[in-house]
Amino acid sequence: MIFIYMVGTAGSGKSSMTAAFHDWCLRQEFDAITVNLDPGVDELPYTPHVDVREWISLQDVMQEYGLGPNGAQVVCADEVALNAGEVERRISEFRSDYVLLDTPGQLELFVFRRTGRVIVDQLSREQTMLSFVIDPSLATTPTSFVSQLMLSAITQFRIPVPLINVLSKRDIVEQEALDMILEWGERPEKLYDAVMVDAPSLYYQLSEGMMAVIKEMEAHTDLIPVSNETLEGMEDVYAAVQKVFMGGEDLERA
């Protein structure tokens, strides 16, 4: 099994990406299952094969501990980590090539707390990768794009497994803006020049430092633009997965 975690900020399109890539896998006759790791989500664009909401309820936690939604989300994240063994057991009931794991909407619950690391360690770090999902509407200026790359770099720093950057919802931005974002990803020197123009002189040293970190951690690697509606780009995500685990060779179809 290859475990692919969809990680990113709230609203970036993690759940839609999970649904779309699962759909693409089935169309290609690959075995794939979906796992929901967010106890607080109300609706999903797919029917998860394994769903933590079956044994962890946000509403129950709110009532039991007298917490608001945000505090309850933190408690739920810790409970997901404590129940990592149960997640592993449920996943092991399936025979599948790919396990697509949809992480909580708030990035900090999975990345900045120990939840993500515990889950990854419990399930399988050797056959694991992260798909950092970037909302293109949050990456149309140099500084906002760098902010997304920094979050991606921090994610891989916290959970040290292979990572790819996926630019979701390519349909929602103009082609000119999309081309600009992709060029920044492919040519970090262009991004560097744009940041130096965009960032006020007061923050010059900070901008320089951030760019140095991105270059050092290789968080500026090419972005994979995808459409969760048309499934455009999903074959490129698949190719990236094969490059990481199979040296570019396809898994056999089921």
Ordered by where they begin, the domains of the chain are: 2-136+162-170+222-245 (3.40.50.300)
CA-to-CA distance for 247 and 235, rounded, in angstroms?
16
- What pTM value is reported for the model? 0.89
CA-to-CA distance for 51 and 35, rounded, in angstroms? 6
- Residuewise pLDDT in 10s, the chain (254 residues): 899 999 999 989 999 999 999 999 999 999 999 999 998 888 999 999 999 999 888 888 888 888 888 888 888 888 888 888 999 999 999 988 999 999 998 899 899 988 889 999 998 777 899 999 999 988 888 888 888 988 998 999 899 999 999 999 888 888 898 899 998 888 877 887 887 777 666 566 676 777 777 777 665 567 999 999 999 999 999 999 999 887 645 555 44
